[in-house]
Amino acid sequence: MNNMNWLPVYPEILLLIMACVVALVDLFVKDERRTPTYWLTQVSLAAVAALHLSYFNRGDTLYGVQGMVVTDPMGHLLGFFAAIAMIITLVYARPYVQSRDMLKGELFSLSLFTLLGISVMVSANNMLVIYLGLELMSLSLYALVALRRDHAVSTEAAMKYFVLGALASGFLLYGMSMMYGATGSLSIPKIFEVISSGQPNKAVLVFGVVFIVSGLAFKLGVVPFHMWVPDVYQGAPTAVTLLLGGAPKLAAFAITLRLLVDGMMGLAVDWQQMLLVLSVMSMLIGNLAAIAQTNLKRMLAYSTIAQMGFMLLGLASGVVNGTTLSAANAYSSSMFYVVTYVLTTLGTFGMIMILSRQGHEAENISDLAGLARRSPWLAGVMTIFMFSLAGVPPTAGFYAKLSVLQALVTTGSSFYIGIAVLAVVLSLVGAFYYLRIVKVMFFEEATDLAPLKPAGDVRAVMALNGAAVLGFGLLPGGLMALCAEAIVKALAT
């Protein structure tokens, strides 16, 4: 483990080189559509996705850079999906940012740096590496939110995100310092060994866990650390909102698993209670607040809070009565949930960008009125996304919710079964505002009659996006098996 093996970090090295190359190449691009920069970025992302996929297919667990980095199937699967999410995001974003004079090289280079931060986070085996990846991703996102410099609302959103993000990073760093003080190491496997030995001061450990969970909760956007989510989602340009709501959720899931499961499994009794409280509060407040929204992006922000709360249920049910028999099932259901959620989110915000045009942001629910008459195809695809978020069969969202509920019920604990019943009730509350979107599209008169003519690549990717959400609902076994394999191998090491 104590060697400078660079093989595990080849995807990160490639991303770093290409981010710098894209930034330099763009200096010489005169084309307003930034065609060379755009395609160079997309080819780079495709190469990174292919590299992650090839490593995943090998199924090996490798350690590198003095044991500070681990590449296992879980990290590579999440890295692959993050790269694919970034490719889809840029396809949807390009026409939108071009019409708003935001199509600059910074968008592409910062997107690559964001993915670099995500890749570092999903392969981290040391607390400092996690923090390094987190800050690289966060700083890139702060800059992207403020990309539209002449727009006061975007600038305000960037300031809120930056200040609260700095506070959350401080929480996480303080928690890590307490873990170091209690265990004498920042290496995640070493922390696991020391905690398992029962030697450290339990009070210091629990105090450290509280701060670490608080920092993670901010990055996931769950109650009561959710204050930034609605304001930043609404204030940021829609293309950047999609960057925020897509691939970074995969990274947040990864570091939650790395820190809490890989490093602090011996303290599961303590952090699972915290996650359950965060989860129930997020589902309750997220769903109830979303009902009152008229702004579509703000409604989807509260929806994100509720969805992340549901995902946490799986992470909070891995250890029951001191046994880890249901851990692999619980964590793989959460991983499946977050992957399908990101896939659905990509399409939802992509649709908002298709409906927007120069001088008009399709941000209000009323902007979707009569969409079924203007474009039955787009209305149909949007209905699939809304059904998936609501958990209506046969979409991916239904099976994702079902797998998390099944993980709760199979624990055999009456407490967890009660939590599962509460989650179902709160999901029914959430179904109201998703189905309201469908009702507005199909049963209300159109207020905007402008023709909808998305670009050919946008139309093709949207069709694939909708087909994937439907396909993973009808045939979820393949993706679920991949998630289960990744989690089992991650737990084994």
Helix H, strand E, coil C: the string for the chain is CCCCCCHHHHHHHHHHHHHHHHHHHHCCCCCCCCHHHHHHHHHHHHHHHHHHHHHHHHCCCEEECCCCEEECHHHHHHHHHHHHHHHHHHHHHHHHHHCCCCCCHHHHHHHHHHHHHHHHHHCECEHHHHHHHHHHHHHHHHHHHCCCCCCHHHHHHHHHHHHHHHHHHHHHHHHHHHHHHHHCCCEHHHHHHHHHHCCCCHHHHHHHHHHHHHHHHHHHCCCCCCCHHHHHHHHCCHHHHHHHHCHHHHHHHHHHHHHHHHHCHHHHHHHHHHHHHHHHHHHHHHHHHHHCCCEHHHHHHHHHHHHHHHHHHHHCCCCECCECCCHHHHHHHHHHHHHHHHHHHHHHHHHHHHHCECCECCCEHHHHCCHHHHCHHHHHHHHHHHHHHHCCCCCHHHHHHHHHHHHHHCCCCHHHHHHHHHHHHHHHHHHHHHHHHHHHHHHCCCCCCCCCCCCHHHHHHHHHHHHHHHHHHHCCHHHHHHHHHHHHHHHHC
pLDDT for 340: 93
pLDDT for 6: 78
pLDDT for 1: 45
pLDDT for 224: 85
Q: Which residues of the chain have pLDDT under 50?
A: 1-2
pLDDT digits (tens, 9 = 90+) for 308-347: 999 999 888 877 776 777 788 889 999 999 999 999 999 9
Show me where the domains of the chain are located: 7-492
| pTM for this entry | 0.92
